[in-house]
Amino acid sequence: MESVNQLQRKLAEYTASLYNEKILDEQFVQLQQLQDESNPDFVVEVVSLFFEDSERLLNELAKALNQPNVDFKKLDAHVHQLKGSSSSIGAQRVQRACIAFRNYCDERNVEGCLKCLQQVKNEYNLVKNKFETLFKLEKQFVDAGGSFPVV
Amino acid sequence: MGSLQRMNRLLSSIVDSCNCIIDPQLPADDLLMKYQYISDFFIALAYFSIPVELIYFVKKSAVFPYRWVLVQFGAFIVLCGATHLINLWTFNMHTRNVAVVMTTAKVLTALVSCITALMLVHIIPDLLSVKTRELFLKKKAAQLDREMGFFRTQEETGRHVRMLTHEIRSTLDRHTILKTTLVELGRTLALEECALWMPTRAGLELQLSYTLHHQNPVGLTVPIQLPVINQVFGTNRAVKVSPNSPVARLRPTGKYMPGEVVAVRVPLLHLSNFQINDWPELSTKRYALMVLMLPSDSARQWHVHELELVEVVADQVAVALSHAAILEESMRARDLLMDQNVALDLARREAEMAVRARNDFLAVMNHEMRTPMHAIIALSSLLQETDLTAEQRLMVETILKSSNLLATLINDVLDLSRLEDGSLQLDIDTFSLHALFREVLNLIKPIASVKKLFVTLSLSSDLPEYVIGDEKRLMQILLNVVGNAVKFSKEGSVSISAFVAKSDSLRDPRAPEFFAVPSENHIYLRVQVKDTGVGISPQDIPNLFSKFTQSQPLATTNTGGTGLGLAICKRFVNLMEGHIWIESEGLGKGSTAIFIIKLGIAGRANESKLPFVAKLPANHMLMTFQGLKVLVMDDNGVSRMVTKGLLTHLGCDVTTVGSRDECLRVVTQEHKVVFMDVSMPSVDCYEVAVVIHERFGKRHGRPLIVALTGNTDRVTKENCMRVGMDGVILKPVSVDKMRSVLSELLEHGVVLES
């Protein structure tokens, strides 16, 4: 059983790496700040919602691109949504991928869109994994008796 | 009667009187008549020619005054001549007509001659007086001539003097002045030799300094006390001296009879003789002697006007010499000033270099010294957290304490330098006075309780809760002052009291130059820290606030510190436009430290000057926004949730809607703010804003509308403004940003910038 300090260190390192790799940005920090006694699971809730939303949107996007006549407007709307969600969370790389996606939509470039979709999916899966690991570490830490400093 | 008859009668009378028997062979009457005839003729001729001559010459002269007299005279003569002429016809028998003419002529002649005779009585004295006047004028002319000669001589002399003066004064060089004088005098007066004797430095001798004809005068000297010299020095006139006197023996004795010699004194005036209001007093006893020798072969004598010339020249030379002296003096002063200027400039540049070097050094020190310091402190603290043996712990604690002390020292020194530079500026902010004092108390209490000192704090009720000032530095001042009080008290109590200074307590009789200017937006905070410690002797009080001085007898190991503390406090207090001083009744009687500083009052008009960032504690925040009803419209679930979380965290009562219709359905007057995401492509949010405006109108309770957008372009902003939105915020929004936006909204009713 690792000590609280060790866990804390691990958590800090992991979090730091997320920022360093630009997977998460400042917005996530803001999110964490919003978590307080009245809202203890705020971050987890928001992230869960993000997962649901994103998966839905990705499915829609795949479906839309499979159509013979691609409705770029709808495509754009979905990507816009995904972009908004990811920026609210602070998932920086997903957001960037979405921006690239939108450019191809504007150009009505199906090939490009397909490529971008794949990119977005990859990034999304990456950030999903990272979040899950992060939450696991946090749970471990809290269970070991650690506590986060209250802002 | 004719002359013939007369002659006859004369003859007969002579014959009768004589009674002599002369048988004169009397010429015949014919011969007599012939003689008479001829004489009359010549007389007439003469009588006629005289007036002609007179007229002729008078006509030539043109200045004869009495013309009419001349006419009269002429008439008289002419008539006489006529008479004699007519006589020529009366020798023989003549007719009666001739007799008549004769008679007429005679009568006329008689008339004219009588008149002329009478006239001459008047005329002749006049003519005589003319002659007298002529004599008088001649005399006068001679006199004037003499005077003219005299003036001419004087003018000549004056011209010479002017020329000499001009020559002498045309130069300001002493040597040239004297040489020129001699040369010009020699020329003007045609002198054989001219010399100048100057007094030596000691003033006991006269040394031959300049001569006209000797090329290099040998250092001839004569003692100054010679009678002849005294005589010359005693008067300002030129004095004739004997050619044999020592001052006149300028040449090797010649065979000739030396000419006359004259000597005159030349006053040597000093600068100090020229007072502004007085004329130069000849109180100076320094004279030079000028000796002039006439050529030996001539028999010339010294004339009065020549002597006068010499005297005048001597005076002029004196003036010229003093001018030269003044010039020398001023040149010297100017050179001195220039040297001083150069030296000052150099000093200034060196000082600037020194200041620059010091600043560079400080800048480096600032960083270079603080970095390892912080590292040491940080790592020591971390070390403290780990498992240590008791011995190790003690060592680590000592390391920490020492490094903290060192860090404080570095900070103090750096602060002080910056304070002295004037480069330190206060960090003005709003803070709570009560909190500050409480924190000071908390920091001091442990130390005080160890020393068994009572610490009391009393804050007056009229102190404002929040003030504007430099919190950190005020804390520093308080800690320093209170810390000193604790440090120097072995027992007893330390009492801190703070209140708003009214006008009477603003003035300290010891600091008359401290003027407190009360105003509406500021208060003067007065803090007194009284201790029952060792006190301060009166002679130490003035030095308390100087750097690096510590009261020596109390330098026990307990008293740490650098001696800079009070000096820094004083500077901070001064920056806060205040005043600090310490009172003590003497050693052993405790002391009281008092300071007054100027603080702004929070919540007044002066806030518009300062960037108002309310660093109010979080719970205070919630009180402001607590229960604030807001509406969030966003079609993105995640965004909606994040915004809701943000606003909830700030204490608002948040309602969320996902669509336009829902929004319009839900919105009521109770909602104070509506946040809407305008980047929704499907919804025309601007329309929503318009509807809300229409519904709630311009009434005071209309919900404020704020747009959230990821777009910062102008079009979006303009659209928002067009529909009357009260603000635009750029997503993503941070907690602080949302907080400040809400504050601005509630205060001003509009967000001034996105």
Please give the residue that has the higher pLDDT: either B376 or B62.
B376
- For residue B293, what are the β-bridge partners? B193, B261
pLDDT at B428 > cutoff 70: yes
Q: Which of residues 564-593 of B touch A (CB under 8 A)?
A: none
Helix (H) or strand (E) holding B76: helix B67-87
Q: Which tens digits make up the pLDDT trace of A31-48?
A: 888 887 777 888 899 999
> Given strand B239-241, what is the order of strands in its sheet?
B221-223, B205-211, B193-199, B287-293, B261-267, B239-241
DSSP B521: T
Considering only the beta carbons, identify the residue of B638, B682, B732 that sits closest to A30.
Answer: B732
Q: Which tens digits make up the pLDDT trace of B24-69?
A: 555 677 888 888 888 888 888 888 888 888 778 777 776 666 777 7
Question: Percent of chain A beyond pLDDT 90?
Answer: 25
Instruction: Provide Rg for chain A, Cα atoms.
Output: 18
The answer to whether residues B321 and B174 touch, using CB atoms and an 8 Å cutoff, is: yes
Q: How much is the pLDDT for B754?
A: 44
pLDDT at B140 > cutoff 90: yes
Confidence of residue B622 (pLDDT cuts 50, 70, 90): very low
Q: Which tens digits make up the pLDDT trace of B649-689?
A: 888 889 998 888 888 888 888 888 888 887 766 557 788 88
Q: Which tens digits make up the pLDDT trace of B79-93?
A: 888 888 887 877 777
pLDDT at B753 > cutoff 70: no
Q: Does B402 touch chain A (CB under 8 A)?
A: no
A150 Cα to chain B: minimum distance (Å): 12
Q: How much is the pLDDT for B366?
A: 74
Residues in chain B with CB shorter than 8 Å from the CB of A50 are: 638
The answer to whether residues B666 and B657 touch, using CB atoms and an 8 Å cutoff, is: yes
Q: How much is the pLDDT for B367?
A: 74
Instruction: Report CB contact under 8 Å: A34, B641.
Output: no
Per CB distance under 8 Å, which residues of A are interface residues toward B? 26-27, 30-31, 33-34, 36, 38-39, 42, 45-46, 49-50, 53, 76-77, 80-81, 84-85, 87-90, 151
Identify which of B89, B90, B91 has the alpha carbon closest to the alpha carbon of residue B31: B91
Confidence of residue B605 (pLDDT cuts 50, 70, 90): very low
Please give the residue that has the higher pLDDT: either B558 or B146.
B146
Identify which of A62, A71, A77 has the alpha carbon closest to the alpha carbon of residue A116: A62
Instruction: Report CB contact under 8 Å: A42, B679.
Output: no
pLDDT at B175 > cutoff 90: no
Residues in chain B with CB shorter than 8 Å from the CB of A75 are: none
Q: Does B617 touch chain A (CB under 8 A)?
A: no
On the 0-12 / 13-18 / 19+ scale of CB atoms within 10 A, B457 is: middle
Confidence of residue B607 (pLDDT cuts 50, 70, 90): very low
A85 Cα to chain B: minimum distance (Å): 5
B734 Cα to chain A: minimum distance (Å): 6
Search chain A and give the residue with CA nearest B618.
Answer: A151
pLDDT at B571 > cutoff 70: yes
Identify which of B700, B679, B676, B701 has the alpha carbon closest to the alpha carbon of residue B690: B676
Confidence of residue B611 (pLDDT cuts 50, 70, 90): very low
Confidence of residue B558 (pLDDT cuts 50, 70, 90): very low
Q: How much is the pLDDT for B122?
A: 80
Question: Percent of chain B beyond pLDDT 90?
Answer: 7
Give the angle subtended at the CA of B41 by the CAs of B37 and B45, to the nearest 5°.
Answer: 170
Q: Does B649 touch chain A (CB under 8 A)?
A: yes
Instruction: Report CB contact under 8 Å: A34, B734.
Output: no
Q: How much is the pLDDT for B496?
A: 92
**Antiparallel, parallel or unpaired: β B653-657 and B629-633:** parallel
Give the angle subtended at the CA of B727 by the CAs of B725 and B728, to the nearest 5°.
Answer: 110
**Antiparallel, parallel or unpaired: β B466-469 and B429-432:** antiparallel
A143 Cα to chain B: minimum distance (Å): 22
pLDDT at B11 > cutoff 80: no
Q: How much is the pLDDT for B750?
A: 67
pLDDT at B475 > cutoff 90: no
Q: Which tens digits make up the pLDDT trace of B706-751?
A: 888 876 677 777 778 888 788 888 877 777 888 888 888 877 666 6
Confidence of residue B619 (pLDDT cuts 50, 70, 90): very low
Q: How much is the pLDDT for B711?
A: 67
Quick one: average pLDDT of B197-204? 80
Instruction: Report CB contact under 8 Å: A85, B682.
Output: no
- Any residues with CB less than 8 A from the CB of B659 and at least 6 apart, and which? B633, B635, B683
Q: Which among A30, A48, A52, A124 is the top mutation candidate for probing chain B, defined by the most B β-carbons within 10 Å of its own β-carbon?
A: A30
Q: How much is the pLDDT for B616?
A: 43
The answer to whether residues B295 and B318 touch, using CB atoms and an 8 Å cutoff, is: no
Please give the residue that has the higher pLDDT: either B718 or B265.
B265
Residue in the block written with tokens 């000096």: B567
Please give the residue that has the higher pLDDT: either B580 or B412.
B580
The answer to whether residues B254 and B295 touch, using CB atoms and an 8 Å cutoff, is: no
For chain A, how are helix, strand and coil distributed in percent, rounded to 5? 80, 5, 20
Quick one: average pLDDT of B352-370? 81
Q: How much is the pLDDT for A59?
A: 92
Average predicted confidence (pLDDT) for chain B: 79
Q: Is the ipTM of this complex over 0.90?
A: no
Q: Does B636 touch chain A (CB under 8 A)?
A: yes
Residues in chain B with CB shorter than 8 Å from the CB of A49 are: 637-638, 641
Considering only the beta carbons, identify the residue of B639, B649, B679 that sits closest to A34.
Answer: B649
Quick one: average pLDDT of B107-126? 85
Considering only the beta carbons, identify the residue of B636, B641, B731 that sits closest to A81.
Answer: B636
State the distance between the two ends of chain A, measured CA to CA, in whole angstroms.
Answer: 28
Instruction: Report CB contact under 8 Å: B642, A77.
Output: no
The answer to whether residues B238 and B315 touch, using CB atoms and an 8 Å cutoff, is: no
Quick one: average pLDDT of B423-429? 77
Q: Does B619 touch chain A (CB under 8 A)?
A: no
Instruction: Report CB contact under 8 Å: B679, A87.
Output: no
Q: How much is the pLDDT for B41?
A: 86
Least confident of A5-9, A17-21, B277-281, B541-545: B277-281
pLDDT at B492 > cutoff 70: yes
Instruction: Tell me the count of A-B CB pairs closer than 8 A.
Output: 68
Instruction: Report CB contact under 8 Å: A84, B710.
Output: yes
B735 Cα to chain A: minimum distance (Å): 7
pLDDT at B265 > cutoff 70: yes
Identify which of B166, B200, B192 has the alpha carbon closest to the alpha carbon of residue B180: B166
Instruction: Report CB contact under 8 Å: B638, A42.
Output: no
Cα separation values, B516 from B383, B429, B492, B512, B600, Å: 50, 21, 34, 11, 14
Q: How much is the pLDDT for B498?
A: 92
- Global pTM reads 0.36
Q: How much is the pLDDT for B142?
A: 93
B644 Cα to chain A: minimum distance (Å): 10
Q: How much is the pLDDT for B69?
A: 75
pLDDT at B289 > cutoff 90: no
pLDDT at B144 > cutoff 90: yes
